[in-house]
């Protein structure tokens, strides 16, 4: 649904549009002269005249995006930003009309604004999604018009995917995205008379307070059992076990061998023997150690 401005805003927009339409159009030679004066001499007066003469182009392009539910004034202002970017980058030596060059920049600025503000959820993050977003409505309207208002079927979606060079799955996802807007989680379920809001129906996947406390106690107990088991190892065995199994960055057998002055095969043998000792020490708690480190 298109955004509807209040009366004061509508009046301001109409005044701006009238002024834009009243600006005289430029002859090709004069346009080229203005572009050269701005590019080569930084003549701001020439820039203002060049940009002012093309504000009507911004208004025309912005009007094509009025059905995306955004204020028309915002669309026009974003288009003006694109127009200024075009003026800064335009090279008169290429011998193309400024309007031809500026159209791309104006449209790109408006489309980027629509994608950023149409929904609080980011839309059109890839080229395929952007193409779908701005063309699916048009293609769907054309198909539905031909079929007397019938909804899209799989054959229609396949035709759209082929025309836009995207996957059918992409068409389905964008169709679902465009069919629904943003809704507050505080909206009452079943309308204004509802007692619960949608937020109260969300599932909390986190552990409850009781589970958290139990988990903390179990974790403390396992830590005590492990520390007691480690105490039965000699210093070299403890170092190997800690560096190989109890740190975020595992130390290699070669590095440990260099530190201890033995071969990496000898480190592996010591590690295997130390693990057997730990298993033996922890065996009385085996039933409670299903997720222990070994």
User: How far, in Å, CA of 248 to CA of 218, rounded?
Assistant: 21
Give me the pLDDT at residue 143, please.
73
Extract the tokens encoding 22: 């009243």
Task: Report the distance separating Cα 281 and Cα 230, nearest Å.
Answer: 9
Q: What is the pLDDT, as a whole number, of residue 185?
A: 66
The owner of tokens 């295997």 is 272
Instruction: Find the length of the chain.
Output: 294
Task: Tell me which residues of the chain have a pLDDT lower than 50.
Answer: 1, 148-149, 292-294
How far is residue 97's CA from residue 293's CA, in Å, rounded to a whole number? 71
Tokens encoding 250: 């595992």
Look at residue 190 in the predicted model and tell me its pLDDT: 67
pLDDT at 285: 63
pLDDT (0 to 100) of residue 3: 57
Which residues, listed in sequence order, are joined to residue 188 by a DSSP beta bridge? 197
By C-alpha distance, which of 80, 29, 81 is closest to 55? 80
The yes/no answer on whether domain 209-288 falls in CATH 1.10.10.10 is yes
Instruction: Determine contact, residues 100/148, Cβ cutoff 8 Å.
Output: no
Q: Domain 1-118 is in which class?
A: mainly alpha
Residue 141 and residue 156 in contact, taking contact as beta carbons nearer than 8 Å: no
Residue 163: its pLDDT value, please? 85
Which pLDDT value is given to residue 136? 82
Listed by start position, the domains of the chain span: 1-118, 123-182, 209-288
């Amino acid at each position: 649904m298109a955004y509807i401005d209040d009366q004061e805003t509508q009046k301001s927009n109409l005044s701006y549009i009238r002024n834009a339409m009243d600006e005289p159009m430029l002859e090709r030679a004069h346009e080229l002269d203005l572009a050269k004066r701005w590019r080569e001499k930084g003549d701001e007066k020439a820039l203002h005249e060049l940009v002012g003469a093309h504000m009507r182009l911004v208004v025309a392009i912005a009007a094509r995006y009025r059905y995306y539910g955004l204020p028309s004034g915002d669309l026009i202002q974003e288009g003006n930003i694109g127009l200024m970017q075009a003026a800064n980058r335009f090279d008169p030596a290429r011998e193309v009309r400024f309007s031809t060059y500026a159209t791309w920049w104006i449209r790109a600025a408006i489309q980027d604004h629509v994608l950023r503000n149409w929904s609080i959820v980011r839309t059109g993050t890839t080229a395929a999604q952007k193409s779908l977003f701005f063309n699916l409505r048009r293609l769907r309207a054309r198909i539905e018009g031909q079929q007397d208002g019938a909804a899209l079927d799989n054959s229609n979606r396949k035709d759209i995917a082929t025309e836009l060079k995207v996957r059918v799955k992409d068409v389905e996802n964008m169709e679902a995205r465009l069919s629904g807007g943003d809704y507050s989680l505080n909206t009452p379920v079943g309308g204004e008379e509802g007692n619960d809001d949608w937020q109260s129906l969300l599932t909390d996947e986190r552990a409850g307070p009781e589970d958290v406390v139990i988990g903390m106690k179990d974790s403390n107990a396992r830590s005590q059992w492990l520390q007691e088991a480690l105490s039965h190892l000699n210093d070299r065995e403890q170092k190997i076990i800690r560096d190989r199994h109890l740190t975020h960055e595992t130390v290699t057998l070669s590095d440990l061998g260099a530190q201890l002055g033995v071969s990496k095969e000898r480190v592996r043998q010591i590690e295997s023997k130390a693990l057997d000792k730990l298993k033996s020490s922890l065996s009385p708690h085996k039933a409670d150690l299903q997720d222990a480190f070994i």
